[in-house]
Amino acid sequence: MIKQITTEKLPIKLWLADIEQGALEQARNLANLPFAYKHIALMPDCHQGFGMPIGGVLALDEVIIPNAVGVDIGCGMCAVKTSLEHIPHHELKNLMTGIRSVIPLGFKHHKNMQDEKFMPQNHDPHSMEVVSREYDSARGQVGTLGGGNHFIEVQKGNDGKIWIMIHSGSRNIGKQVADHYNRLAIRLNEQWKSPVPRSAQLAYLPLDTKESQEYIKEMQYCVDFAFANRKLMMDRVVEIFSDHFKGRFNAFPMINIAHNYAAKEKHFDKDVILHRKGATLADEGTIGIIPGSQGTKSYIVKGKGNPESFNSCSHGAGRVMGRKQAQRNLNLKEEIKKLNEQGIIHAIRSVRDLDEAASAYKSIDQVMKNQSDLVDILVELTPLAVIKG
């Protein structure tokens, strides 16, 4: 931990030295919630979000807040270590072309609905209001990357191996569930004359209500859908590698970890609903993934189980510029030059792409230094080629 703020009802514990004013105000709102427990934890990649800062960890007593999970429910990372030790540059370009041919990017979906076997299996989707409405649409989106900061990246590890990493979430079905239950919570909070001001964007659902149980059920479906989405993409990327290298390629078991969800956990001897919004589980021994930004290193880590962070760590580098701000302020030629000098096959082509330039993000080196009490680094990964949504 870097510092602590004690001016609010609960302490705010920060794993960063400097925090933008908007994120700090959101953290203060969290610290003054009547049902918040123990303290608020802010990870080193923390920046302003909607209602709750990205990189925030919040423990609640018998209450759940849809906006403290966010709209991309279950968004997370997966990574696969391969048996390869080197890929020539021209072959890497061919592989990227192959990946783009089977994985729709950005707002694109599959032209046909995917087989139901690729969807989450341990649910009855038709028993859920929003999921049932969005189910057929989601079958066209499973195995698609999405936009924003989502990516597929080929990397070289300091273990000598080539790795494949994917960052993606629950696509539109997660957003629909999040928006539906946030609107419902706002309406109910107004009926109950909630002590939490609407301006805080933290409308809540008590666990003993039908609405909260429905949200939890649909949220968990979206977490599982996000995992199914990443797995299908990874399976198809691995298949492209296998076809290309013809018997010279093997893949190790996939690592997967989410960073937008709420779950019942025990912390400081109390059962709470722990919300991680842009934060990753870092229980003792848990293997996690912390990506950098486009053109910077990523990390495979092992959690230390630090109770002060509610056994959590950062989910990435964290933004220092908003998307529009990056497009206005960054120099396209300079950002392209930086990536070209590293020999990275990158995704910056126009001013529109500058929102995902490395300069729009915090230093991943500093982020990792700030959380040395939360995780141990197992493998350091250097980017070779990246596809952005």
Token pair of 36 as six digits: 């918040």
Report d(CA 240, CA 238) in Å as an integer: 5
Report d(CA 91, CA 353) in Å as an integer: 25
Residue type, 47: H
How high is the pLDDT of residue 176?
Answer: 98
Cα–Cα–Cα angle for 247, 251, 256, rounded to 5 degrees: 160
What's the mean pLDDT in 347-351?
93
Token pair of 227 as six digits: 């995992």
What's the mean pLDDT in 38-65?
97
Query: Is the separation of the CB atoms in 230 and 168 below 8 Å?
Result: yes
Q: Does the pLDDT at position 247 exceed 90?
A: no
Nearest to 383 by CA among 165, 235, 148: 165
For the sheet with 255-258, list strands across it: 255-258, 76-81, 162-168, 151-157, 375-388, 298-303, 287-290
How high is the pLDDT of residue 18?
Answer: 93
What's the mean pLDDT in 237-250?
95
What's the mean pLDDT in 200-225?
98
Token pair of 29 as six digits: 């709102």
Q: For all residues of the chain together, what is the average pLDDT?
A: 97
Q: pLDDT tens digits, residue range 121-147?
A: 999 999 999 999 999 999 999 999 999
- Where residue 242 falls (left for φ over 0; alpha for ψ -120 to 50; beta otherwise) is alpha
- Active-site residue set: 315
Q: Regarding beta strands 12-14 and 76-81, do their DSSP bridges make them parallel or antiparallel, or are they unpaired?
A: unpaired
Q: Looking at domain 3-320+361-388, which of 3.90.1860.10, 3.20.20.60, 3.40.50.720, 3.40.50.2000 is its CATH number?
A: 3.90.1860.10
Q: How many CB atoms lie under 10 A from the CB of residue 287?
A: 16
Report d(CA 360, CA 351) in Å as an integer: 13
Q: pLDDT tens digits, residue range 164-194?
A: 999 999 999 999 999 999 999 999 999 999 9
Token pair of 344 as six digits: 């990275």
Residue type, 28: R
**In which residue are the tokens 């979430």 written?**
169
Strand, helix or coil at 230?
A: helix
Burial of residue 207 (CB within 10 Å: 0-12, 13-18, 19+) is: middle
pLDDT interval class at 389 (50, 70, 90)? confident
Query: Is the separation of the CB atoms in 359 and 274 below 8 Å?
Result: no
Q: With a threshold of 0.95, does the pTM exceed it?
A: yes
